[in-house]
Amino acid sequence: MKILIATAYDYPHAGGLSTHVSTLKAGLMERGHEVDVLSFSDVSPFTQMSYVKGPSFILNKIKKGRGILWSHHARKKLLQKLIEQNKHKQYDIINAQDPFTTLAAIETGIPTVSTVHGYMAFESVSKGSMIENSPEAKEMQRIEIEAYKGTRKIITVDQRLKDYVKELSGVEGFAIRNFIDIHSFKPDKEHKNELREKYRIAKNEHILFVPRRLTKKNGVIYPALALPDVLKSHPNTRLIYAGSGEALSEIKQIVAENQLEGKVDLLGAVAHEKVKDYYALSDIVLVPSVHSAGVEEATSISALEAMGSGSPLIACAVGGLKEIVNPGEDGLLVEEKNVAELSDAITYLLENPDEGAKMSKNARKKIEEEYSHLSAAEKYEEIYIKALKDY
């Protein structure tokens, strides 16, 4: 089968959607399919700036949300043009990764299925890009409904998103939880000291790793807020963030107010290959997601990668994280936004490394059995076939 995976966002980039696309592509290709990816990154930098980013910036200054809508509509038109230019490759099916790409793909006449990664309108509100219940937010949700009703099949990355799509549009989707490349993300603790030397991290430091985009729904401020209590009993602890986003300034403020300079590293966006090194050199991985403006974590790829990489995981008990973590068996769950509970969980694992190692072993077993990219690719393939047969 010749498959085109398409997205109106950048690819590759630091984030869960890009990781999903790369991993799905790898799984499908291992199953013998030919897979290409088209994204906004394939548009020339001049066109990106002059037609999309520049006007969007100006329009957002006039009214919040107006530029975001312009950007999405412009990306849709550009992506549709790219797909049309590549129709000679005779793709059997397009797997669109967002609602605007779905609409672009449908207009090319190529059979289209859609993967739903999140709550597009709600997430724009959560990030502060749009005002809740504004005409712009309502238009964004109208686009979602149009895309869900127009595509041949819908795949969601967790059950809550499946329910959301059904409630919003009346369309029944297929829930396939996120997954990771189990060959790529695997335990590598034997190189822990070597990697620490490479990144100039002391062998005796306790490393807490947050592999998260710095946005509100990811709860990234809470590890920084929990760190002072952890340092009281474990002063040789360091917190490392790998990600960028609008919450960066708030984290910097917390660091300054609590005099945590030298104890918190803000790496910015980190290449996926490099993130693997940080999983291996870390002592604990934190995925502190929270509810925000109606948005909750799906099946977190960061959490799955941590569980597959041999590092004990502490996550907040929200969304899909409650489904993938069995507390005390293959990780720990804490109440969202509960700083004291988070610091206690971190301290517990630092003082009980054998328990952490046992959880990590169980987590790896679960990932191999339930979250393999190969089994997920097989499920996607089945839906592609249904989409082609049912029409």
* Backbone φ and ψ of 14, nearest 5°: -80, 110
Residues 356 and 299 in one domain: yes
Q: How far is CA 271 from CA 10, 71, 211, in A?
A: 14, 25, 11
**Mean of pLDDT values over 287-300:** 79
**Mean of pLDDT values over 109-117:** 97
d(CA 379, CA 47): 37
Kindly state whether residue 112 falls inside one of the protein's structural domains. Answer: yes
**Mean of pLDDT values over 282-304:** 85
**One-character DSSP codes across 80-102:** HHHHHHTGGG--SEEEESSHHHH
Kindly state whether residue 184 falls inside one of the protein's structural domains. Answer: no
Count of beta carbons in the 10 Å neighbourhood of residue 187:
15
**Mean of pLDDT values over 112-137:** 90
Residues 360 and 242 in one domain: yes
Kindly state whether residue 382 falls inside one of the protein's structural domains. Answer: yes
Residues 145 and 39 in one domain: yes
**Mean of pLDDT values over 48-69:** 92
Token pair in block for residue 152: 């041949």
Give the tens place of pLDDT for each residue, 43-58: 999 999 999 999 999 9
The CATH number given to whatever domain includes residue 111 is: 3.40.50.2000
Residues 317 and 264 in one domain: yes
**Mean of pLDDT values over 109-123:** 93
Whether the CB-CB separation of 310 and 359 falls below 8 Å is answered with no
CB-based contacts of 191: which residues, under 8 Å, 6+ apart?
A: 280
pLDDT score, position 233:
97
**Mean of pLDDT values over 186-191:** 88
Note the residue count of the chain.
391
Kindly state whether residue 27 falls inside one of the protein's structural domains. Answer: yes
pLDDT score, position 126:
82
Token pair in block for residue 348: 């517990």
d(CA 217, CA 292): 5
Domain count, the chain: 2
Residues 13 and 126 in one domain: yes
What is the rounded average pLDDT for all residues in the chain? Answer: 93
* Backbone φ and ψ of 90, nearest 5°: 55, 60
pLDDT score, position 275:
92
DSSP H helix total and E strand total for the chain? 17, 12
pLDDT higher than 80, residue 296:
no
Whether the CB-CB separation of 308 and 371 falls below 8 Å is answered with yes
Angle between helices 339-351 and 353-370 (to 10 degrees): 100
pLDDT score, position 14:
66
Query: What is the distance, to the nearest Å, from the Cα of residue 364 to the centroid of all Cα atoms in its chain?
Result: 20
Residues 227 and 294 in one domain: yes
Q: What angle do CA 319, 351, 285 make, to 5 degrees?
A: 35
Kindly state whether residue 93 falls inside one of the protein's structural domains. Answer: yes
Q: Alpha helices, DSSP H only, in 208-270? A: 221-233, 248-257
Kindly state whether residue 274 falls inside one of the protein's structural domains. Answer: yes
Residues 155 and 274 in one domain: no
Mean pLDDT comparison of 117-126, 129-138, 348-357, 365-374, highest-scoring range? 348-357
Residues 256 and 323 in one domain: yes
Output the CA torsion sign for 24, 26, 28, 33. Answer: positive
pLDDT score, position 294:
67
Kindly state whether residue 61 falls inside one of the protein's structural domains. Answer: yes
Among 117, 114, 120, 80, CA closest to 95? 114
pLDDT score, position 293:
66
What pTM was estimated for this model as a whole? 0.76
pLDDT higher than 90, residue 252:
yes
pLDDT score, position 319:
83
Rg of the chain, C-alpha, whole Å: 21
Range of the domain at 208: 189-370
Residues 141 and 262 in one domain: no
Residues 354 and 378 in one domain: no
Least confident of 216-225, 286-295, 350-359: 286-295
Percent of the chain topping pLDDT 90: 81
Least confident of 11-25, 94-108, 274-288, 335-349: 11-25
Give the tens place of pLDDT for each residue, 130-171: 999 999 999 999 999 999 999 999 999 988 899 999 999 999
pLDDT higher than 90, residue 110:
yes
Residues 87 and 61 in one domain: yes
Residues 73 and 95 in one domain: yes
Whether the CB-CB separation of 110 and 87 falls below 8 Å is answered with yes
Kindly state whether residue 229 falls inside one of the protein's structural domains. Answer: yes
Kind and range of the H or E run holding 45: helix 45-47
